[in-house]
Amino acid sequence: MKIYTIEEARELVHKIKPVIRDIKSKAYDYSKYHMETSRLVFNFRNSPYDKDGILDKIINTRKELKKLIDEVGSHSVLLRDIESGTIDIPSQMNGEEIFFCWKIFEEQDVMWWHGVNEHCSKRKPLKQKENL
């Protein structure tokens, strides 16, 4: 697993931000298609044909979503929440493994961290003089 410095993490987040944005969009589409599929199944007797191609759309969207999530994971980044775009980026502070924690759709920069065994809700602000 790659360990990132704060500078590398900041470069990475700008690179993967569009991918996270695409994941959020595809997840929304997947949810929408899944709901439509449920409606088709429920109304099967009245509408036995998938005339809008919803089943193909849900299968293709799921494949696209998986590919995007795999792309983020290939950078050793953990996608914690699609809606807020929360990601954890592995790093070290004072010789201890940590995660930089960034909420892509809510924050301008990587400014928070938490321990590897801590939830994002326990994150702390980065300080200028910490050994990263």
Number of domains in the chain: 1
Q: Is residue 130 part of a domain?
A: no
Q: Is residue 121 part of a domain?
A: yes
Q: How far apart are CA 12 and CA 100, in angstroms?
A: 12
Q: How far apart are CA 119 and CA 97, in angstroms?
A: 14
Q: Is residue 62 part of a domain?
A: yes
pLDDT tens, residue by residue, 27-72: 998 888 777 776 666 665 455 566 677 777 888 888 999 999 999 9
Please state, rounded to an integer, the average pLDDT across all residues of the chain: 86
Whether the model pTM is above 0.95? no
% of the chain with per-residue pLDDT over 70:
85
Q: Is residue 90 part of a domain?
A: yes
